[in-house]
Amino acid sequence: KATAMSGTEPEDEEDELGDEIDAKAMLQRELQDQRKTLPVYKFRDELLKAIAEHQIIIVVGETGSGKTTQIPQYLHEAGYTANGRRIACTQPRRVAAMSVAARVAQEMGVKLGHEVGYSIRFEDCTSEKTAVKYMTDGMLLREFLGEPDLASYGVVIVDEAHERSVSTDILLGLVKDVARFRPDLKLLISSATLNADKLSDFFDMAPVFKIPGRRYKVDIHYTAAPEADYVDAAVATVLQLHVTQPPGGDILLFLTGQEEIETVEEILRRRTRGLGTRIAELVICPIYANLPTELQAKIFEPAPPGARKVVLATNIAETSLTIDGISYVVDTGFCKVKSYSPRTGAESLLVQPISKASAAQRAGRSGRTGPGKCFRLFTEHSYREDMADETVPEIQRSNLASVVLSLKALGVNDLVGFDFVDPPASEALLRALEDLFALGALNSRGELTKTGRRMAELPLDPMLAKAVVASERYGCSEEVLTVASMLSAGNAVFYRPRDRALLADAARQRFSAGGDHVALLNVYTEWEQSGHSAQWCADHFVQPRTMRRARDVREQLAALMERVEIERRSCSSGDLDAVRKAITAGFFRNTAQRRRDGLYRTIKTWRTVLVHPSSGMARLDPPPRWVVYHELVETSNEYMRQVTEIKPEWQLEVAPHYYQENNLDAPEPKKAKAHGQGAAVAVEKQSPSLNGFFNV
């Protein structure tokens, strides 16, 4: 007990505690009042009644009407979780899953991870208690592997179905099947747009429940002439809006990706600094997939009185996240789109015009709480002529190897017969089967092998999963586990401050001999040896956040490796060839050879590729003759990212069924100019008879 000298203090403390409780209660009341203002609230009972009567329902409602945050709570309140089964609500985007879960935990007055939690790849924030679980669609897909009947769930909500991500599309097929043999399972498919008929058809004419949205008028402005540089135009428009428009009313600017957002953020900071004190403050809030968690909440905080907020977003803010208080939308008209060529196997992210449907969604973000304005940084002509009506579903423009591997692991052997909302191109399916066959994940009859089964358990791209599985054979599973974790940590490992760029380059180069994969391994090992020191990171221009994440990922991957019984072994420290061989065992298809003209050509498809400037291999002299790369990125050129030097004879060792001795060093075929033709025949060993294999 406190002594005499603090006679009055205990009382004060009690008061403070009391105040805190009051503040909490007030916040709760406010949140509960807010919940009641959402459009979905008026339909609560009607919706619950419909769910009680039907097993499957399609829910359609304007973005921001409360579908994602409210419906799971209604079901929880109505007792759907009382039997110990959970409610799953899937999101195509990681950030949305995390942010919505945080909001719902707050509304329910519980700690995130207790009654309400989320699960995303390499991050499980749930517990025994968790009744409402937000998760990425990809995570639910993985859960099918361990629990094909989804027995732990009483309700599955496939949210944001209009986004049509690959995982969502596969989920739709799988849950439809589960619903047939689990009559107690409730299924809600929720979508922001009105093309719900297609979904209703898919689910055998399931009823559509419409939540009428509030929608105010939005004035749409186009530019008179095409913009030469949409980033410049975007900055100018934001600044002009800020300076000329009355206070109140925030701005939402749509850009294409993290780098662009960071650039715009920097320019806006610089330019607003010069505006002086007579202009209101502009609070700049970026949001993109890899934004660190602690900064994500900032976009939802109202700007301080008198200030204006500008949110710089990717199309994550198109429908996945709703930010209140937006009066102005500035739309560059572009987004990054994944595309895939089954012929060459190249997947790329390209900046492309959005669809008309996207443009309408973006504009609508400004008219939620009052009349809005949308400034389109493109011409009306370009809107009409250059923009497609709808975005092509991702499943029709993606590499399907990973999905096919999961489906095979789930026992779905007849891929063509699988119930797709929109089927992928058959060439893409065949290509995926071929790739998995080359990796040894499938046998020539298209059945999953033991290797394939192990690969499917790892939440990694099949090529990387194969490298991890192969590492056992080369006695370096600890090292390859580290490389895989670093590659999966999501963010850049190194940073390069402008004023110390040369020092940063030198620091990085020190790790790089032998290739970028080995560099990742070296960085991690030294960081461990430093005792995870922040100072070590600062000295070597390494991002501490990425390292901490890599450590988390590593722990989880290690547990999964144990589950599939991959022996944990470390190679003697000098034997980096073992590590590089294991990497080659996964990435042998991504081999490039430096030709006499000094340029690299991919070995199968004869594409001319460059080493990405961020690679430690970009400055090697002489450059290595043979390399494997992690991925190709296409900007002005095609660049190989994460490059490692290999010996060509390794190819024969790691993929004897794929390469033959005499064709590794084959002269370039005459037809080489016709990108990717002929060469494949010259280099690729004739596939064994694929009878039955193509019996997809």
Among 47, 65, 155, 252, binds ligand ADP (CB under 6 A): 65
**Could you tell me how far CA 512 lies from the centroid of its own chain?**
28
Pick from 59, 61, 62: nearest CA to 186: 59
Pick from 59, 141, 134: nearest CA to 98: 134
Quote the CA–CA distance of 322 and 332 in Å, as a whole number: 19
Nearer to ligand ADP, 92 or 616 (CB): 92
Of 315-334, which residues contact ligand ADP (CB under 6 A)?
322, 324
| Shortest Å distance, C-beta 33 to ligand ADP | 13
Stretch 55-94: interaction string toward Mg ion, x if CB under 5 A? ------------xx--------------------------
| Shortest Å distance, C-beta 243 to ligand ADP | 27
Q: How many residues belong to the site for ligand ADP (CB under 6 A)?
A: 17
Quote the CA–CA distance of 231 and 315 in Å, as a whole number: 15
Nearer to ligand ADP, 36 or 273 (CB): 36
Quote the CA–CA distance of 49 and 62 in Å, as a whole number: 21
Using alpha carbons only, how large is the chain's radius of gyration in Å?
27
Nearer to ligand ADP, 63 or 130 (CB): 63
CB 355 within 8 A of CB 387: yes
| Shortest Å distance, C-beta 322 to ligand ADP | 4
| Shortest Å distance, C-beta 336 to ligand ADP | 22
Examine residue 41 and tell whether it contacts ligand ADP (CB under 6 A): no
Cα end-to-end distance, the chain, whole Å: 76
Examine residue 256 and tell whether it contacts ligand ADP (CB under 6 A): no
Q: How many CA atoms lie within 13 A of 209 on its CB side?
A: 23
Task: For strands 282-287 and 308-313, give the pairing.
Answer: parallel
| Shortest Å distance, C-beta 471 to ligand ADP | 40
Quote the CA–CA distance of 577 and 646 in Å, as a whole number: 8
Our CA angle for 291, 285, 112, nearest 5°, is 55
Stretch 548-567: interaction string toward Mg ion, x if CB under 5 A? --------------------
Nearer to ligand ADP, 116 or 465 (CB): 116
Quote the CA–CA distance of 586 and 578 in Å, as a whole number: 13
**Which residue's CB comes closest to Mg ion?**
68
Q: How many residues in total does the chain contain?
A: 696
Nearer to Mg ion, 67 or 93 (CB): 67
Nearer to ligand ADP, 139 or 157 (CB): 157
Q: How many residues belong to the site for Mg ion (CB under 5 A)?
A: 2
Examine residue 63 and tell whether it contacts ligand ADP (CB under 6 A): yes
Examine residue 366 and tell whether it contacts ligand ADP (CB under 6 A): no
242 binds, among Mg ion, ligand ADP, none (CB under 5 to 8 A by kind): none
SS3 360: helix
Nearer to ligand ADP, 66 or 462 (CB): 66
Nearer to Mg ion, 93 or 607 (CB): 93
Nearer to ligand ADP, 103 or 607 (CB): 103
Examine residue 644 and tell whether it contacts ligand ADP (CB under 6 A): no
| Shortest Å distance, C-beta 237 to ligand ADP | 24
**Could you tell me how far CA 313 lies from the centroid of its own chain?**
15
Nearer to ligand ADP, 102 or 521 (CB): 102
Stretch 284-313: interaction string toward ligand ADP, x if CB under 6 A? ----------------x-------------
| Shortest Å distance, C-beta 103 to ligand ADP | 4
Query: Which residue blocks in 203-303 are alpha helix, DSSP H?
Result: 230-244, 258-273, 293-296
Q: Which 8-state DSSP code applies to residue 323?
A: -
Q: How many CA atoms lie within 13 A of 23 on its CB side?
A: 6
Nearer to ligand ADP, 107 or 528 (CB): 107
Pick from 225, 291, 285: nearest CA to 258: 291
Of 73-112, which residues contact ligand ADP (CB under 6 A)?
99-100, 102-103
Quote the CA–CA distance of 685 and 659 in Å, as a whole number: 6
CB 159 within 8 A of CB 590: no
Q: Please report where in the chains the tokens 């979508």 appear, as a residue.
A: 191
| Shortest Å distance, C-beta 105 to ligand ADP | 10
Torsion angles phi and psi, residue 604, rounded to 5: -90, -35
Among 64, 342, 452, 586, binds ligand ADP (CB under 6 A): 64
- 349 CB neighbour count, 10 Å cutoff: 15
Quote the CA–CA distance of 682 and 677 in Å, as a whole number: 10
103 binds, among Mg ion, ligand ADP, none (CB under 5 to 8 A by kind): ligand ADP
CB 594 within 8 A of CB 623: yes
Interface residue list for Mg ion (CB under 5 A)? 67-68
Which residues contribute to the site for ligand ADP (CB under 6 A)?
A: 38, 61, 63-70, 99-100, 102-103, 300, 322, 324
